[in-house]
Amino acid sequence: MPAAPGAAGEASAAGEAARASAADKSEPVLADTTGKQYRTDAPPSAVLDYDVTGTIDQKPSYGSASLDWRNSGQHYRLEGEVTAIWVTWLKFSSEGELDAWGVSPTLYTEKKKFRSATNTHFNRNGDSISFSASETRYPRRGGEQDRGSLIWQLAAIGRGDPAQFQPGAVIDLFVAGVRDGEVWRMQVIGEEAIKLPIGTLQTWHVVRVPKPGAYEDRIDIWLAPQHEWYPARLRYTDPRPNGDVTELSLSELRR
- Each residue's pLDDT tens digit, 46-70: 999 999 999 988 899 999 999 999 9
Q: Is the pLDDT of residue 224 over 60?
A: yes
Q: Quick one: what percent of the chain has pLDDT higher than 70?
A: 87
Cα 108 from Cα 122, distance rounded (Å)? 8
Dump pLDDT digits (tens) for 150-166: 999 999 999 999 999 99
Q: What's residue 33's pLDDT?
A: 54
pLDDT confidence bin for 213, thresholds 50/70/90: confident
Dump pLDDT digits (tens) for 75-127: 999 999 999 888 999 999 999 999 999 999 999 999 998 899 999 999 988 79
- Identify which has the larger pLDDT, 12 or 172: 172
Q: What's residue 114's pLDDT?
A: 85
pLDDT confidence bin for 137, thresholds 50/70/90: very high
